[in-house]
Amino acid sequence: MSAESAKRALEALLAAAAPPPSPEVDAADVIESGARMMERRSAPFAELQESLADDPQLLKGDEECQAMVETLREIDEHWSAALQRARIIVGDRVNAMRKMKQLKGGGYSSGR
């Protein structure tokens, strides 16, 4: 694979990367949006991996590609933080639902 194909893969990854959601977006929507983005990014990511398999240093020194990589890193850091927040919120929701179910179903046992 050539440096040009690796560059095209980086461009495709950037095009498939949605901006990170704001903190006001519902946690379930954040997770769903993240999953859709990962699906869109899977083919260009595989292409990039294939391009770099024989020569991991293929793009080293290419400032334009390095800038794209840095932009992807920043986007991914923000997405990771948003998904972490969403995971915590969804976990809290699941725990609250379990507690409600226990209370409604008499899940408390007095041991008698």
Q: Give the chain's count of helices (H) and strands (E).
A: 3, 0
**What pTM does this model have?**
0.78
pLDDT in tens, 3-33: 899 999 999 999 999 999 999 999 999 999 9
Q: Are 30 and 86 in contact (CB under 8 A)?
A: yes
- Block residue for tokens 């998904």: 83
With respect to residue 97, please indicate whether it lies within any of the assigned structural domains.
Answer: yes
Count of the separate structural domains present in the chain:
1
With respect to residue 50, please indicate whether it lies within any of the assigned structural domains.
Answer: yes
With respect to residue 111, please indicate whether it lies within any of the assigned structural domains.
Answer: no
Query: Residue 112's pLDDT is what?
Result: 46
Long-range contacts formed by 63-69: CB under 8 A, 24+ apart: 64/7, 65/3, 65/6, 65/7, 65/10, 68/10, 68/11, 68/13, 68/14, 69/10
Query: Residue 65's pLDDT is what?
Result: 94
Rounded CA-CA distance 54/50 in Å is: 8
Q: Which domain holds residue 28?
A: 3-104
With respect to residue 63, please indicate whether it lies within any of the assigned structural domains.
Answer: yes
With respect to residue 110, please indicate whether it lies within any of the assigned structural domains.
Answer: no
Average per-residue pLDDT for the chain = 90
Question: Which runs of consecutive H residues, i.e. helices, occur in 22-62?
Answer: 27-53
With respect to residue 30, please indicate whether it lies within any of the assigned structural domains.
Answer: yes
With respect to residue 75, please indicate whether it lies within any of the assigned structural domains.
Answer: yes
With respect to residue 65, please indicate whether it lies within any of the assigned structural domains.
Answer: yes
Query: Residue 30's pLDDT is what?
Result: 96
